[in-house]
Amino acid sequence: MKKSERTRQQIIACASDLFNVRGYSGTSMSDIMEATGLQKGGIYNHFESKEAIALAAFDHAIKRMARMYAEEVGKAGDNALAQLQAMMRMYVRFAKDSPIPGGCPIMNTAVESDDYDVPGLKERTQIAQRRWQRLIKRIVRDGKAQGLFRENVDGDLLATIVFANVEGGLLLSKLHDDGLYMDCIFDFLNDYIEVNVLV
């Protein structure tokens, strides 16, 4: 990797953590300069604006998140139920000891993007959320094929229920500094799956 690309990646990684912890509005160019050790000109050699940095930083955070989910789902093997539970457990981890500073970038960016118009950022957040839901829909299809899930389970509906609950649990856990909320959501979803999803 060339030095210029290493510098660009350093800016993205530092800005990704800053934006996810402080938000777009709470992160200044001075903050990015301090975190990277670069002058403003050095940063603007790689990005034309703070908005451009924010887009690249969000993409970086989502890639990190996707890698973590892929690893957890991979550890679950081929069993669709184990994969679904692995995804839900990742949110318990985000609530108690987040592997990404600031927690879930989808939730953080979705909340803030209503107030600050960074062109393309809300759309990127929507795409990331839809990818997450598509993964659950794929797990539902596999679960039906494995004879674990009922044939009448609606993948879209289950994905929405799981996503809305884990994001809500994460929000409450952050608000109250208490992972118990996410534990309750995890237990609720497991009960829901047992009653409404499993054969």
Residue 45: its pLDDT value, please? 93
Q: What token pair was written down for 62? A: 């989502």
Query: Does residue 50 contact residue 18 with C-beta atoms inside 8 Å?
Result: no
**pLDDT of 112 over the 90 cut:** no
Strand stretches in 16-171, DSSP E = none
**What pLDDT, on a 0 to 100 scale, did the predictor assign at position 12?**
97
Q: Taking residues 155-180, what's their average pLDDT?
A: 94
Q: Is the pTM of this model over 0.75?
A: yes
Residue 98's pLDDT band, with cuts at 50, 70 and 90, is confident
Residue 126 pLDDT: 94
At 106 the pLDDT is 93
Q: What are the pLDDT digits (tens) for 45-78?
A: 999 999 999 999 999 999 999 999 899 999 999 9
Highest mean pLDDT among 94-108, 142-156, 167-181: 142-156
Structure tokens at 169: 């649990």
Domain 3-196 has CATH 3.40.50.150: no
Residues 18-38 have pLDDT tens digits of: 999 999 999 999 999 999 999
Contact residues for 38 (Cβ-Cβ < 8 A; gap 6+)? 7, 11
pLDDT at 177: 92
Phi and psi, residue 149, nearest 5°: -105, 150
Domain boundaries, given as residue ranges, for the chain: 3-196
Query: What is the pLDDT at residue 76?
Result: 94
Report the alpha-carbon distance of residue 185 to residue 26 in Å, rounded: 30
- In the predicted model, is pLDDT for residue 114 greater than 90? no
Euclidean distance between CA atoms 132 and 152, whole angstroms: 21
- 53 touches 47 (CB < 8 A): yes
Angle at 11 (CA atoms; ends 62, 97), nearest 5 degrees: 45
Q: What is the mean pLDDT of the chain?
A: 93
Query: Does pLDDT of 130 surpass 90?
Result: yes
Contact criterion met (CB below 8 Å) for 107 and 119:
no
Q: What percent of the chain has pLDDT over 70?
A: 100
Phi, psi of 198 (to 5 degrees): -70, 150
- pLDDT at residue 99 tops 90: no
Distance from C-alpha of 44 to C-alpha of 67, rounded to nearest angstrom = 29
Q: What is the pLDDT of residue 96?
A: 85
What pLDDT is stored for residue 95 in this prediction? Answer: 87
Per-residue pLDDT band at 156 (split at 50, 70, 90): very high
